[in-house]
Amino acid sequence: MEPIEWTDSFSVGVALLDEQHRRLIDMLNKMIKDPAADTRSETVADVLTEMTRYAQEHFKAEEALMNEHGYPRLDEHKEQHLGFQEKVARLCFATVKGQASVPQELMEYLQKWLIHHILQEDMAFKPFFEQKGVR
């Protein structure tokens, strides 16, 4: 798999959120560029650490904007964010246990999150924020 390059097709129209989404692509690219990474590798440890930071910072910012502007699907979106945090916790635990499947599972989950959450769920709020004048 080739690394993913940010394009405008990934933009949700809010500069802060786009910058944070770029970080997620960077995480995925880190995994793509190290196909031999194993469960105990620095790559896996770095990506899991960054995913934890991402969840804390990005979800807080995104949910705050949604709350401030009255986004109607906020509760549903929060549930999806909670699912991400739970998955990261499970992957961290699996790493501690030395499960060999972690690198592949990590890459697949980041791809799924990019495709299904950012490109579908987050894109659903793009017109909402545009209408509210949020950039």
**How many angstroms separate the CA atoms of 59 and 55, rounded?**
5
- For the stretch 94-124, pLDDT in tens is 999 999 999 999 999 999 999 999 999 999 9
Note the pLDDT of residue 100. 96
| Inside any domain, residue 64 | yes
**How many angstroms separate the CA atoms of 128 and 4, rounded?**
27
Q: Is the pLDDT of residue 1 over 90?
A: no
**How many angstroms separate the CA atoms of 37 and 43, rounded?**
6
**How many angstroms separate the CA atoms of 29 and 47, rounded?**
10
What number is the average pLDDT over the span 85-101? 96
Name the residue range of residue 111's domain.
13-132
Note the pLDDT of residue 87. 97
- Using alpha carbons, select from 87, 6, 1 the residue that is nearest to residue 47: 87
CATH code of 120's domain: 1.20.120.50
Both tokens assigned to 124? 């659903």
Q: Is 63 exposed, middle or buried (0-12, 13-18, 19+ CB in 10 A)?
A: middle
Note the pLDDT of residue 21. 96
Query: Is the whole model's pTM more than 0.85, yes or no?
Result: yes
Helices (H), 33-125: 42-69, 74-96, 102-112
Structural domain total, the chain: 1
- For the stretch 24-71, pLDDT in tens is 999 999 999 999 999 999 999 999 999 999 999 999 999 999 999 999
